[in-house]
Amino acid sequence: ALLFVVLSTAYCLSVGIVITLSLTHSHIQFRIIMLSKSALTVVIGLAAFLPTISALAARRSIQQPQLQTLPISPTDNITGLPLLIKKIGLKLGRGKQLREEVVHKYFHGVDTQNIPQIVECFHPEGAIIRDICSLANRDVPYDQVGKLVSPEFLGERCREFLAAHPDCKVKFHHGPTCGRGLNNNWVYAHWYEEGTFSGNSQGIEPDGSPLTVQGQTRFLVGNDLKIREIVITRTFSRWEEALLEKNSK
């Protein structure tokens, strides 16, 4: 498309070239006005900037939101790159795709009920979970919301949820997308889950109601490609509501 614009511009400008022929004695004098020189300058300039324009267009396309319907499976890019190159890129604020893949790996673990894969996504020392919609946090200032929990704790909570909803499937309205800016390590996702409350978990009998949970979550992914913090705004399933009621008694 850019090449077409360049050629079209050159053609239009060349039409304006005026050639005056003057016959004097035995030779012909060609006088080409400065418009032809200007046209050539414009064409050369556009051609010189063509790689830059293409690179900017490609960069813009990379930054567009990812709209995958389902979580993608883990790729070799997360651990397959040479360690030194990976660390240098992350230190320089690059590697946003790697951070997005970590979040995809987490959601894929939920989607496939792979608890070890879920646990592996979090920092070994734990992650801070800020559940904005939790009833326990209703009157708590934002900076005081959240607690540090272990990866094993998070894995067990996922196991309990999946036991209650054995056919749970994760889908996206807006797939995991890392924020812009060199030092923005937050990955955002707008997800929803489908399935049924058909399994017994934590002593709560299923009622067969549909699972219609959704939420928006941001994940802080460190340079070690481990999730260190989660901020979540979401709805609750029937099972979660029953569990909250049970635990409040």
Residue 62 is encoded by which pair of tokens? 């990379």
Q: Between these two residues, 43 and 162, which has the higher pLDDT value?
A: 162
Burial of 135 (0-12, 13-18, 19+ CB in 10 A): exposed
CA pair distance 200, 207, nearest whole angstrom: 10
Domains of the chain: 2-63 (no CATH), 77-248 (3.10.450.50)
Position with higher pLDDT, 205 vs 55: 205
Residue 52 has pLDDT above 60, yes or no: no
Contact assessment for residue 103 and residue 72, using Cβ atoms and an 8 Å cutoff? no
DSSP one-letter code for 25: T
Provide the pLDDT confidence category of residue 60 given band limits of 50, 70 and 90. Answer: very low
Summarised one tens digit per residue, pLDDT across range 195-241 is: 999 999 999 999 999 999 999 999 999 999 999 999 999 999 999 99
Residue of 212, 116, 207, 208 whose CA lies nearest to 159 = 116
HSE value, Cβ hemisphere, 13 Å, CA-based, for 118: 20
The pair phi, psi for residue 190, each rounded to 5°, is -115, 110
Residue pLDDT, tens place only, 175-206:
999 998 878 899 999 999 999 999 999 999 99
Q: Is the pLDDT of residue 14 over 60?
A: no
pLDDT level of residue 142 (50, 70, 90 thresholds) = low
**Secondary structure (DSSP) of 86-97:** HHHHHHTT--HH
Residue at token pair 């999730």: 227
